[in-house]
Amino acid sequence: MFLVNEVFQTIQGEASYTGTPALFLRLQGCPVGCPWCDTKHTWRVAPEHAVAISVMLEKQSDAPTFARMTWQDLVDTVRKFQARHVVITGGEPCCYDLTQLTSELIGLGYSVQVETSGTYPVCVHPQTWVTVSPKIGMPGGLTVLPDALWRANEIKHPVGREQDIDNLRVVLRGANPKALVWLQPLSQSRRATALCIREATTNGWRVSVQTHKFLGVR
């Protein structure tokens, strides 16, 4: 059973799939505790916040409510939208075993992406595109798992200062060497952007900006 915070169609604004129309499945629950998290309403699973699937699907703004859904419910929901790319995000989606859900969707011809902090085992179909945004030293006390870094197709790292680059270098020692590396300037500040461009240029990495924010879409 999946606890689903929201389902919405937009474009993927970040990293390799930038510009791709996508259906986002946001799952409830995350114990990582990043201070800058912009989805804090997904952290807690409070039984009193459970709602019907129909109510969750009509949600128009951030809220801690969620619906209980089986993988069949989710596949049926995905099929009602037009987007052919499905992004499973959170919260921390890898709190859930995503093997069956990703397999069913890929079997139906969808491309599937999972966005994870790397702190839980990544249980997905082999063709799933895995984006790891490694959360190091966060208040939740979880460590980034070597297996998650090895499974990553891309590593997307928020960067605000030099220390973030140093942390990334440590992470990359255990990561899949074929993984694309994206630096994401925190808050698109001038300083962070300049740092990202410099380091991407020097190291053969890339810069990812949150294009959906420039476009004014979710």
Show contacts with ligand SF4 in window 99-158 (CB under 6 A): 117, 135
If one asks whether residue 90 binds ligand SF4 (CB under 6 A), the answer comes out as: yes
If one asks whether residue 92 binds ligand SF4 (CB under 6 A), the answer comes out as: yes
SS3 at position 78: helix
If one asks whether residue 45 binds ligand SF4 (CB under 6 A), the answer comes out as: no
Beta bridge partners of 26: 6, 89
d(CA 152, CA 122): 9
- Whether the CB-CB separation of 185 and 209 falls below 8 Å is answered with yes
Give min distance, CB of 27 to ligand SF4, in A: 10
For residue 44, how many other CB atoms are within 10 A of its CB? 14
If one asks whether residue 11 binds ligand SF4 (CB under 6 A), the answer comes out as: no
Among 4, 15, 27, 30, binds ligand SF4 (CB under 6 A): 30
Q: How far is CA 26 from the centre of its chain?
A: 9
User: Which residue shows structure tokens 């994206």?
Assistant: 182
- Closest of 24, 23, 27 to residue 3, by C-alpha: 27
If one asks whether residue 15 binds ligand SF4 (CB under 6 A), the answer comes out as: no
- Closer residue to ligand SF4 in complex, CB, 75/120: 120
Give min distance, CB of 201 to ligand SF4, in A: 27
For residue 77, how many other CB atoms are within 10 A of its CB? 18
Which positions from 151 to 190 touch ligand SF4 by CB under 6 A, shown as an x/- string?
Answer: ----------------------------------------
Among 9, 20, 39, 111, binds ligand SF4 (CB under 6 A): 39
Number of residues that bind ligand SF4 (CB under 6 A): 12
Query: Edge-to-edge strand order for the sheet containing 154-159?
Result: 50-51, 66-69, 2-11, 21-27, 85-89, 111-116, 129-132, 154-159, 180-185, 206-207
d(CA 69, CA 148): 25
- Closer residue to ligand SF4 in complex, CB, 16/39: 39
Q: Is the peptide bond before 118 cis (omega within 30 degrees of 0)?
A: no
- Closer residue to ligand SF4 in complex, CB, 106/186: 186
Among 11, 20, 37, 62, binds ligand SF4 (CB under 6 A): 37
Give min distance, CB of 38 to ligand SF4, in A: 7
Binding footprint of ligand SF4 on the chain (CB under 6 A): 30, 32-34, 37, 39, 42, 90-92, 117, 135
